[in-house]
Amino acid sequence: METVSVELGARSYPIHIGAGLIDRAELLAPHLPGGKVAIVTNTTVGPLYARRLVQALPAHCSSDVIELPDGEAFKTLAQWQQILEVLLTRRYNRSSKLIALGGGVIGDLTGFAAACFQRGIDFIQIPTTLLAQVDSSVGGKTGVNHPLGKNMIGAFHQPCAVIADVDLFETLPAREFAAGLAEIAKYGVIRDASFFAWLEANAAALCARDQQALMHAIRRSCEIKAEVVAADERESDLRAILNYGHTFGHALETLTRYETLLHGEAVAIGMVQAADLSVRLGLLDAASAQRIKALVIALGLPAAPPGLSPDAMIDAMGADKKAVNGRLRLVLATRIGQVITTEEIDGQALFHTLAAGDRLCR
């Protein structure tokens, strides 16, 4: 096991990374001094792992398992309310704890419920997807989607621990696994050129789920995110760089009603679109943009967007929560390992990027 710390003073917490961690009671015990524990999971993950997790809980804890429907389409206020209704019905209190056992949807729903119940209770993240282990489980962003925009309703609420068990990938479908690789690639683009080069050299090993390669990729991704979150917890400045590719990606997800693309797939396409726009604006050289696209493809991810009109995309991007006073705010690359956040966007260049389709980065 390896551990990365998110340094936030009194609210600091560990990210434990390793194999077989879901069964290690000693990782849970320090955060569960007693009382009720609600495990929130979904109908896919629950039958696979909920019983094992219950068995790992300290003997002095009583527990409930809350199973929600599986999928991004169910990251809604209705499912958030279902969690709260169980907590109220079963008379949970401020000493109670929640555990998120699932991917990013379950983590975001559980964290938002924890943030709101009795004005805030503790929760533990046990992410079961690669994407959640390297991204959504770390940093305290919680929330739900709305038909008019992704993650527009939520709160910052840090977990008290993240337990990233790489053995859980054994039951993770290939498409879901590849979606997590998109967020790993993002960290190389925004913060670490040498890590990006390592990903280029080890793309095949990662796709084959080589455990040694995965451990390195997960650890480095978590280190980068922990550094950024510690410096800017509430995204007033630096943390915005973590949104590279996401404004494009969230618009793709919204316009396809969360039914066509997985989040990581939308982010992968968004990273390529952001690289293409960076070239058009004279910020990034064409060869670097081609490297970003090539890595996306090597990791088994889509690089070309579905057929959506540029005008519809621009409208959806304008509704993104990162827009400032009606102005689009984008994270764009200046070189591999470095990005900037800017509101100075040439509308014609953006239109051409959005209209490029499979000709992106050519």
Question: pLDDT (tens digit, 9 = 90+) per residue, 192-243?
Answer: 999 999 999 999 999 999 999 999 999 999 999 999 999 999 998 999 999 9
Whole-angstrom Cα distance, residue 202 to residue 308? 33
| Residue from 36, 150, 216, 225 carrying the catalytic annotation | 225
**Could you confirm whether 246 is annotated as catalytic?**
yes
Asked if 223 is an active-site residue, the reply is no
Distance CA 358, CA 362 (A): 9
Spatial contact of 345 and 330, defined as CB atoms under 8 Å apart: yes
Sheet holding 2-6, edge to edge: 2-6, 13-18, 161-165, 122-127, 97-102, 35-42, 61-68
Residue 58: count other Cβ atoms within 10 Å of its Cβ. 15
Where do we find the tokens 């009109």? 309
What value does the mean pLDDT take over residues 7-21?
97
Q: Is the dihedral of CA 296, 300, 301, 307 positive or negative?
A: positive
Please state the rounded mean pLDDT for residues 289-302: 98
Of 235, 253, 265, 293, which is the active-site residue? 235
Evaluate whether 180 touches 273 at the Cβ level (below 8 Å). Answer: no
- Yes or no: say if 120 and 109 are a contact pair by the CB < 8 Å rule: no
Q: What is the pLDDT of residue 331?
A: 97
Which residue in 152, 141, 73, 146 sits closest to 108, CA to CA? 141
183 is catalytic: yes
pLDDT exceeds 80 at position 326: no
Quickly state the pLDDT bin for 362 (edges 50, 70, 90): confident
The 8-class DSSP code of residue 43 comes to T
Structural tokens at position 226: 């922990």
pLDDT per residue as tens digits for the range 68-114: 999 998 999 999 999 999 999 999 999 999 999 999 999 999 999 99
Cβ within 8 Å of residue 308, ≥6 positions away: 252, 255, 256, 354
Task: Sketch the domain layout of the chain as residue ranges.
Answer: 2-171, 174-359
Confirm if 209 and 168 have CB atoms less than 8 A apart: no
- Is residue 34 over pLDDT 90? no
pLDDT of residue 83: 98
pLDDT of the residue at 322: 67
Report how far residue 202's alpha carbon sits from residue 220's, in angstroms, rounded to the nearest whole number.
14
Residue 325 is predicted with a pLDDT of: 64
**Burial (CB count <10 Å: 0-12, 13-18, 19+), residue 136:** buried
pLDDT in tens, 139-175: 999 999 988 888 889 999 999 999 999 999 999 999 9
CA separation for the pair 146, 152 (Å, rounded): 7
3-state DSSP helix/strand/coil % of the chain, to nearest 5: 55, 20, 30
Mean pLDDT of the chain: 95
The amino acid that residue 85 corresponds to is: E
DSSP state of 92: -
Q: Looking at residue 321, what is its pLDDT?
A: 64
- Residues 188 and 220: their CA atoms lie apart, in Å, by 9
Whether 141 is catalytic: yes
352 is catalytic: no
**Which residue in the list 42, 145, 202, 243 is annotated as catalytic?**
243
For the stretch 43-81, pLDDT in tens is 999 999 999 999 999 999 999 999 999 999 899 999 999
Per-residue pLDDT at 148: 82
Per annotation, catalytic residue among 119, 170, 259, 325: 119
Burial label, 105 (beta-carbon count in 10 A; 0-12, 13-18, 19+): buried
Instruction: Determine which one of 246, 280, 291, 293 is catalytic.
Output: 246
* More reliable by pLDDT, 59 or 16: 16
Question: What residue spans of the chain are helical by DSSP H?
Answer: 25-28, 46-56, 77-89, 104-116, 130-131, 174-191, 193-207, 211-231, 246-255, 263-280, 286-298, 310-318, 347-355
What pLDDT score was predicted for residue 62? Answer: 93
Nearest to 244 by CA among 336, 362, 341, 348: 341
Q: Which of 36, 216, 239, 280 is catalytic?
A: 239
Catalytic residue among 36, 141, 191, 220: 141
CB 29 within 8 A of CB 99: no
Q: What is the pLDDT of residue 327?
A: 84
The CATH number corresponding to 2-171 among 1.10.1660.10, 3.10.310.10, 3.90.340.10, 3.40.50.1970 equals 3.40.50.1970
Q: Which fold has domain 174-359?
A: Dehydroquinate synthase-like, alpha domain (1.20.1090)
The DSSP letter of residue 135 is I
Integer Cα distance of 162 and 15 in angstroms? 5
Pairing of strands 97-102, 122-127: parallel
250 catalytic residue (yes or no): yes
Residue 95: φ, ψ to 5°: -90, -5
* Active-site residue, from 183, 223, 233, 265: 183
Instruction: Collapse the DSSP code of 143 into the 3-class scheme (helix H, G, I; strand E, B; otherwise coil) and give the result.
Output: strand
Active site residue 119: yes
Query: What percentage of the chain has pLDDT greater than the value 90?
Result: 92
pLDDT at 324 over 70: no
Q: Is 31 annotated in the active site?
A: no
Kindly name the residue from 75, 250, 291, 329 that is annotated as catalytic: 250
Maximum pairwise Cα distance, the chain: 62
